[in-house]
Structure 1
């Protein structure tokens, strides 16, 4: 790999791998698939991928083996909480996928109902650095029990009084008789880099890649709405359109009482939004995805 090519560490399998590769492909990168399962080379941009374990990505970036990396915030913050080696690693861009939440939870109906109740208790977790730092910031002294997996069974097996674990739907907590009572970290996939130490050519590539990624993220969160609106209710309809600064309003041939409205909406468009638009007199409402977007 050339020193002038941007070296990017990505998880070799899992949600972060799928989401990261999809993001890069939507940003226009085309990768050659060779015999080396740990390396992929972009054909149309000076970018090389290193496919590694997710918890190794901060080490690759901190040590300079890779210029950038895609990793979960939970992994990055855990490594930073454990060692000063990772303090120079920073987030360049939040990527908007692989969202999860690190939460404190305890048995339902028990005597632990808030963070203060953890004083003098034990907490099982796969994130001891983050958990200890969070508790210390609040002046709570508790024993940390580090576990590699199956954290949710710790209270039932009398290993710990409470847990600190990643939660998505909450179904696993419910199945084990646990209830979340505090959020430690809201996490998503992020693009990380060292604060210093990259050369100019690599940074030029990174700047272009980040610009494209921002366009991909923006387009994923944005919808294009087309509708017909009665002129006497146009102001009301414009106020309902979510996240739209200045929709385009055009005359309809042969009609003085109706106009066509085109709007780029930067917020989610729910069924309730469409129902409100219809109640306000809007007709022929179309909601379309946006493939690419650049400010």
Structure 2
């Protein structure tokens, strides 16, 4: 049995449970439940406060965790990231009231900055040679300038809508963040083997999300030129069609290169191009 910690609420919680489900792991968790077992894998899920997770890993209470990489910058630089997960992306930024001018980081010298990430802010300011007064707040950081508690804030920014509602503007991006899979120290052999199984499934899911299955028809004389365009894993599958002189090519493309590849295939003579999502891609 291994134990994994995820955030007990919010977008990271939802995305983490969705990832486990995509990996074929079913977790029966009820409302306000702090611990739940998987039905079909030797896994127990702990639903914890985000800021507490790094210490639970160090103490060996949990063996794995899905957290934002920004949390590790703040509280867990000693912990090992074993997989970047690509979801729950955001940034940690400094923001000031909209009406205030800003010419650079030196403008923060001597100012009060409200934040839930004091270590991150202090490290950033130290690197820039700027001294400021850090005011630590657990929540609702965005309200601090409006009530005269701070001149600026440093907080997580996703869409920017919360800053807009509080009459703030982003002026410095300190770092970008995404969900990562983190491993506890001092694991035994059995735990490591189970973690490798989970990581194998996660990698198959992530590869599938980044890829598309493509089928297309091409004249036989164009098979070589079309095959060179396709960034396949090994080589494309080529099947003859009932129509003489034509073949069907099956392959995989990177979803990020979709339109560029499609344009090249059309120019090379490909027709009837069909693109499908991939549920899992195992190597």
Q: TM-score range by the shorter chain?
A: 0.7 to 0.9
Partner of 2:212: 223
Partner of 2:116: 126
The answer for unaligned runs of 5 or more in structure 1 is: 81-86
Cα distance, 1:58–1:126 mapped onto 2, change above 3 Å? same
- Alpha-carbon shift at residue 206 of structure 1 (Å): 0.8
2:45 counterpart of 1:49? yes
**Residues 228-277 of structure 1: CA distance to partner in whole angstroms, max 9, x if unpaired?**
23456666655665777743344333332x43222212342555754564
2:276 counterpart of 1:288? yes
Total equivalences in the alignment: 283
TM-score by length of 2: 0.86
Secondary structure in 2 matching 1:40? strand
| Matches of 1:24 and 1:148, distance apart in 2 | 29
- Alpha-carbon shift at residue 210 of structure 1 (Å): 0.8
- Aligned match of 1:7 in 3, 16, 25? 3
The answer for unaligned runs of 5 or more in structure 2 is: none
TM-score by length of 1: 0.83
Partner of 2:24: 28
| Matches of 2:267 and 2:150, distance apart in 1 | 55
Cα distance, 1:263–1:13 mapped onto 2, change above 3 Å? same
Mean Cα deviation higher: 267-276 or 122-131: 267-276
Partner of 2:73: 77
Partner of 1:264: 252
Aligned-residue RMSD, C-alpha? 2.8
- Alpha-carbon shift at residue 211 of structure 1 (Å): 1.0
* Contact 2:27–2:39, Cα closer than 8 Å, also in 1: yes
Cα distance, 1:169–1:274 mapped onto 2, change above 3 Å? farther
